[in-house]
Structure 1
């Protein structure tokens, strides 16, 4: 039996297929429908790393025609959540977002790519706050947004055998 999470196994099956990234992203957005509103695309996923992008389209704009601050937060949370889900040992641990601190560094007037990363390998504790750093870049490779997303990681309770 594989030690890879369902999310990571699904990514590995789909990533090299035609439209595999698109299909994987659709699966993620089916599971967490709110993310679908910004029409993201997951670009890469592995232990400790996820990248995703959102196109600069009117439906993610604010009143001045740039990508809305909350759309940037949503992309950061999507990236961090998918990465954590693919990385945390799914058989023994679970996670939930606990908080987010963000910095808006520049207007986002192009497509935007988010990168979420944590140091690997790592020791997973029974209970911890994992801070995931997420950085968003415009198409000129300029850093336009940063987020530190705190994920609450806990060990799953052991289930007793029912005979």
Structure 2
């Protein structure tokens, strides 16, 4: 699906409203992420950028963007970046996430996910660390996450080749 996701993004975002439509399609596939109403603004191998607007439903009791909304934004951007970057026949799943809350998250948030190292083709599975930085409207980084992805061959591919 990795090549098809990137291909879908490239096709859809050529149209007016395509970024919105692609974002809705991702949330249809993974419904939980619709809770933050993400908007994909850039996607290429090794990079994904996603924004969320400042709205009440992502706020905590003190009026800032909730910590878990930031975690959801980080996981979504890292996962879609991984999907768009991996070669066919591979799959990923988050294995762990470490986060840092650097400042109050006020306003719309902009996440950028990039891998820490290039993905190397290995037999079996491997860990692949991805970094996500989330910035406020002024460009100040308010949140950082490091997500370790477990990357392996798809089981159906292994059965076909083995």
Q: Which residue of 2 aligns with 1:40?
A: 38
What does 1:14-163 align with in structure 2 at a 5 Å threshold?
Answer: 14-90=12-88, 92-118=89-115, 122-126=119-123, 127-157=125-155, 158-160=158-160
**SS of equivalent residue, structure 2 residue 113:** strand
TM-score (norm 1): 0.91
**SS in structure 2 of the partner of residue 81 of structure 1:** helix
Separation (CA, whole Å) in 1 of partners of 2:71 and 2:2: 27
Query: How many residues are paired up?
Result: 158
Runs of 4+ in 1 over 6 A off after TM superposition: none
Change (3 A) 1:141 1:160: closer
Q: What runs of 5+ residues in structure 1 fail to find an aligned partner?
A: none
Q: Which moved more, 1:7-16 or 1:27-36?
A: 7-16
CA contact 1:108–1:144 (8 Å) conserved in 2: yes
Contiguous gaps of at least 5 residues in structure 2: none
- Check whether the contact 2:119–2:128 (CA below 8 A) recurs between aligned residues: no
C-alpha separation in 2, matches of 1:116 and 1:47: 11
Q: As a proportion of its length, which structure holds more helix? A: 2
Across the aligned residues of Structure 1 and Structure 2, the Cα RMSD in angstroms comes to: 1.7
Contact 2:116 2:129 in 1 (8 A): no
Output the TM-score relative to the length of structure 2: 0.92
